[in-house]
């Protein structure tokens, strides 16, 4: 034992001289790993709307550092006491159980692999630091600001016919056709308005955030993505209700004016929004005569998938059998249309794979999130309610939990919003 009897003193020999070093002054490898992971999570949040490969690399780095950090017993306690994390693990476990009655085992394993983004939620939940949650959210909004800037510049380039070399600099315009871009933009807009209304910013910064939110709203209508535009109106309506919750009549009147007005302005002045919205009604009406349209194909996928659900209502066809089951139905019902491996609806896909049991497990995730909105009081309870509403809406038109961008979005923002303050955590240490 070092002189002085203190267990934290260590003898260090340097150049023949013996020194006493108090190791309490030096962070352990585990503490450094915890701090590193907290910031890696912030960088992942920044990369969410920007880079597919970037977010995958950062996610794997977080996992590697998480393993090095240790503290597994404490991490397990944090995970098992978090209702959202346990609901997600139950949902994922059912896909493993669904392999027992699937006939396409290889496809079943591929299905499970597609969920690897939300499998990381427990890791992110134990990596996020309570004092850095707002920082992670801020990094996400910063990344979204970069993406909005690039798509806006690309749009201006088309509008003013910039040279081809200039346009090639703004390859971000591809995001306007990415199914994850507009939904991600919609939740970013909500979070910005949330910060303006109930956040900590004051003075000129508040006006700057309001201006940024307004710019993002314009960007919503110059980029393609009807799912994102739909959920934008849903979240805007929720924001108005939350803003005027003490006067529901005023909120209802404001929604009756503001939402149709924004829709009309977008429809009138945005060629992109007009082109995407105008054919919806006619495609629905003509569905039985011509299902080979954007809306018609979705209706056909849902109609054919319903036959699979009727045949396997309780446990589904199996984790990996949607594609083969749908192919058989498609051959009978609509052989002129190519079969699909995705009905573009998360609820229908889960019903086909795991039946009512799977749908109940999916619903339990968002029920847990909604419950946390009412039991956790730290200023973010409104966002905790908006987030499940966001996913419940967009999953009507796409299987967004298996889409890379929105899968990571679910895991990262769930970790930020639904983390619970711990007396001690795996990454405890001095605040950054």
List the domain range (segments joined by +) for residue 362: 74-283+338-418
CB 235 within 8 Å of CB 190: yes
* Distance in Å from the first CA to the final CA of the chain: 33
Q: Does any domain span residue 117?
A: yes
Q: Does any domain span residue 149?
A: yes
Q: Which helix (H) or strand (E) holds 9?
A: strand 9-14
Question: Which residue's entry shows tokens 């973010």?
Answer: 380
Q: What region, left, alpha or beta, does residue 290 occupy, with left being phi > 0 and alpha being psi -120 to 50 degrees?
A: beta
CB 20 within 8 Å of CB 9: yes
Measured CA to CA, the distance from residue 220 to residue 213 in angstroms comes to 11
Q: Does any domain span residue 8?
A: no
Longest dimension (CA), the chain: 91
Q: How many residues does the chain have?
A: 432
Q: Does any domain span residue 293?
A: no
Measured CA to CA, the distance from residue 122 to residue 428 in angstroms comes to 17
- Secondary structure of 70-118 in the HEC alphabet? CCHHHHHHHHHCCHHHHHHHHHHHHHHHHHHCCCCHHHHHHHHHHCHHH
Kindly provide the b/e burial profile for residues 199-226, where b requires at least 16 CB atoms within 10 angstroms of the residue's own CB: beeeeeeeeebbebbebbbebbbbbbbb
Q: Does any domain span residue 115?
A: yes
Question: Which residue's entry shows tokens 């983004």?
Answer: 117
Q: What pLDDT is stored for residue 24 in this prediction?
A: 52
Q: CA–CA distance from 89 to each of 119, 230, 425 (Å)?
A: 8, 29, 21
Measured CA to CA, the distance from residue 334 to residue 92 in angstroms comes to 32
Mean pLDDT, each 10-residue run in order, the chain (432 residues): 48 48 60 90 97 95 95 96 98 98 96 97 96 96 95 76 45 57 97 96 94 97 93 98 95 97 96 93 94 96 98 97 97 96 97 98 98 94 98 98 96 97 52 33
Which of 203, 199, 231, 194 lies closest to 393, judged by CA? 231
Measured CA to CA, the distance from residue 404 to residue 366 in angstroms comes to 19
Q: What pLDDT is stored for residue 31 in this prediction?
A: 75
Q: Which helix (H) or strand (E) holds 329?
A: helix 322-333
Q: What pLDDT is stored for residue 154 in this prediction?
A: 81
Structure tokens at 371: 């419950």
Q: β-pairing, 9-14 with 17-22?
A: antiparallel
Q: Does any domain span residue 98?
A: yes
Q: CA–CA distance from 107 to each of 59, 99, 162, 311 (Å)?
A: 24, 10, 46, 20
Please classify residue 162 by burial: count the beta carbons closer than 10 Å to its beta carbon, then call 0-12 exposed, 13-18 middle and 19+ buried: middle
Total structural domains in the chain? 1
Structure tokens at 407: 């899968």
Q: Which helix (H) or strand (E) holds 142?
A: helix 133-160
CB 188 within 8 Å of CB 236: no
Q: What pLDDT is stored for residue 10 in this prediction?
A: 52
Please classify residue 138 by burial: count the beta carbons closer than 10 Å to its beta carbon, then call 0-12 exposed, 13-18 middle and 19+ buried: middle
User: Is the pTM of the predicted complex or chain greater than 0.85?
Assistant: yes
- Spell out the alpha helix ranges (H) of 376-421: 381-394, 404-418
Q: Count Cβ atoms below 10 Å from residue 261 Cβ, excluding itself.
A: 10
Q: What pLDDT is stored for residue 5 in this prediction?
A: 47
Q: What region, left, alpha or beta, does residue 124 occupy, with left being phi > 0 and alpha being psi -120 to 50 degrees?
A: alpha
Q: What pLDDT is stored for residue 327 in this prediction?
A: 97
Q: Does any domain span residue 29?
A: no
């Amino acid at each position: 034992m070092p002189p002085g009897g203190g267990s934290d003193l260590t003898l260090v020999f340097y150049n023949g001289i013996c020194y006493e070093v108090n190791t309490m002054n030096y962070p352990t490898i585990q503490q450094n790993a915890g701090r590193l992971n907290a910031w890696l999570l912030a960088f992942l949040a920044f990369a969410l709307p920007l880079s597919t490969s970037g977010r995958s690399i950062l996610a794997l780095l977080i996992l590697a550092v998480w393993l090095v950090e240790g503290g597994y017993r404490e991490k397990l306690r944090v995970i098992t006491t978090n209702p959202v994390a346990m609901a997600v693990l139950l949902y994922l476990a059912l896909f493993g159980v669904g392999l027992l009655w699937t006939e396409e085992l290889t496809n079943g394993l591929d299905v499970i692999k597609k969920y690897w983004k939300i499998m990381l939620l427990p890791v992110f939940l134990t990596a996020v630091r309570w004092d850095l949650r707002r920082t992670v959210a801020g990094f996400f909004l910063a990344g979204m600001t970069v993406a909005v800037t690039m798509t806006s510049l690309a749009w201006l380039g088309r509008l003013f016919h910039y040279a081809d070399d200039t346009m090639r600099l703004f390859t971000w315009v591809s995001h306007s056709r990415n199914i994850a871009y507009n939904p991600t933009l919609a939740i970013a807009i909500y979070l910005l308005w949330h910060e303006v209304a109930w956040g900590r910013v004051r003075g000129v910064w508040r006006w700057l955030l309001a201006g940024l939110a307004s710019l993002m709203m314009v960007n919503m209508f110059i980029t393609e993505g009807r799912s994102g535009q739909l959920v934008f109106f849903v979240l805007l309506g929720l924001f108005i209700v939350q803003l005027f919750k003490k006067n529901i009549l005023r909120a209802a009147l404001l929604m009756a004016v503001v939402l149709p007005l924004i829709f009309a302005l977008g429809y009138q002045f945005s060629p992109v929004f007009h082109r995407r919205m105008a054919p919806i009604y006619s495609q629905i009406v003509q569905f039985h005569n011509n299902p080979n349209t954007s809306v018609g194909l979705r209706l056909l996928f849902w109609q054919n998938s319903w036959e699979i659900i009727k045949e396997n209502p309780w446990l589904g066809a199996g984790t990996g059998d949607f594609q083969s089951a749908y192919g058989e139905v498609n051959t009978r019902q609509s052989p002129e249309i190519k079969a699909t491996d995705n009905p573009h609806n998360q609820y229908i896909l889960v019903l086909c794979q795991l039946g009512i049991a799977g749908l109940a497990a999916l619903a339990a995730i968002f029920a847990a999130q909604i419950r946390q909105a009412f039991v956790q009081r730290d200023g973010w309870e409104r966002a905790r309610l908006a987030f499940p509403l966001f996913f419940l809406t967009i999953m009507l038109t796409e299987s967004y939990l298996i889409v890379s961008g929105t899968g990571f979005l679910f895991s990262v923002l769930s970790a930020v919003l639904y983390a619970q303050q711990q007396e001690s955590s795996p990454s405890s240490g001095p605040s950054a």
